[in-house]
Amino acid sequence: MASDDGINARGLIDDSASDEEKEAYGEENQADTYFRITAGTVNVTAGGDAIDSNGQVYIEGGTLYVSGPASGPDVALDFNGKATITGGTFVSTGVQEMFESFDSSSTQNFINVFYSTAVSGGTEVKVTDKSGNVVLSYTPTNDFTAVILSSDKLVTGETYTVSAGSNSEEITVSAGENTIGEQSGGMGFGGGNGAPPSGAPGENGGTPPSGNGTMGQPPEKPTDANGNELAMPEQAAGIPIVKTIKIA
């Protein structure tokens, strides 16, 4: 059990670098830095980021159980590049704030689960198939509002029940990413991962709102009877100009 990060993968920077340079380097995607697990069993319980890579995360085999922090901004799975799962068993619990999950290039199915209220540590998270057989089971130490579940036993097209205490939901698994519940509690899905909230703008599948707001289409300029464009009135003093921001 760690009071700070559980497992941390990071590159090295020269001691002569300034604090600002070190901090900036820590926020970069360090392409040659990665955390990879291919076999064995790893249990992580952490008060900070449970799995923290300044580059990539590769889950290719083995079994990894993660009980992440009970409050943000630290999370169960944190990375600057991307995380993929192609094999093995992975169960993590943590919070929804700054939540990150596996990339769409993952070849193994996974389920992101979001709870509207915190589930107490010591509560078993369990996945059962339609016959009642247990497919996945983990009892984390820390309270949680978000879970990631993945196993080669989660078969595309099959229906499973995901339960934690009094919470129980059925899901028919699709290939790749699956989601139960709705994420809340701050901006998450970093690195293009996770489940963005419905309607989130940008390139992650959301649809910008319609209408003439700053995130919609601009209004057509008025014209006179001959089709000549009319001059628009000057902006009133004290009213800021709002620029459209594209969130990628």
pLDDT (tens digit per residue) in 48-92: 888 989 899 999 999 999 999 998 888 899 999 999 999 999 999
Can you tell me the mean pLDDT for 222-228?
Answer: 54
Buried b (16+ CB within 10 A) or exposed e, 98-111: bbbbbbeebebbbb
For 19, the 3-state DSSP assignment is helix
Question: Does pLDDT of 3 surpass 60?
Answer: no
| DSSP 8-state code for residue 192 | G
Question: Does pLDDT of 151 surpass 80?
Answer: yes
pLDDT (tens digit per residue) in 158-216: 999 999 999 999 999 999 999 999 998 655 544 344 444 333 333 333 333 344 433 34
Distance from chain centroid for Cα 57: 13
Entry pTM: 0.69
147: exposed, middle or buried (Cβ count in 10 Å: 0-12, 13-18, 19+): buried
CA distance 77 to 85: 13
Token couple for 203: 């390139």
Reported in sequence order, the residue ranges of the chain that DSSP labels E, i.e. its strands, are 7-9, 34-37, 41-45, 51-53, 56-59, 63-67, 77-79, 83-85, 89-94, 110-119, 125-129, 134-138, 144-150, 159-164, 167-172, 177-180
Which residue in 23, 76, 8 sits closest to 47, CA to CA? 76
CB of 152 closer than 8 Å to CB of 110: no
Distance from chain centroid for Cα 109: 15
CB of 175 closer than 8 Å to CB of 181: no
Q: Give residue 237's pLDDT band: very low, low, confident or very high (50, 70, 90).
A: very low
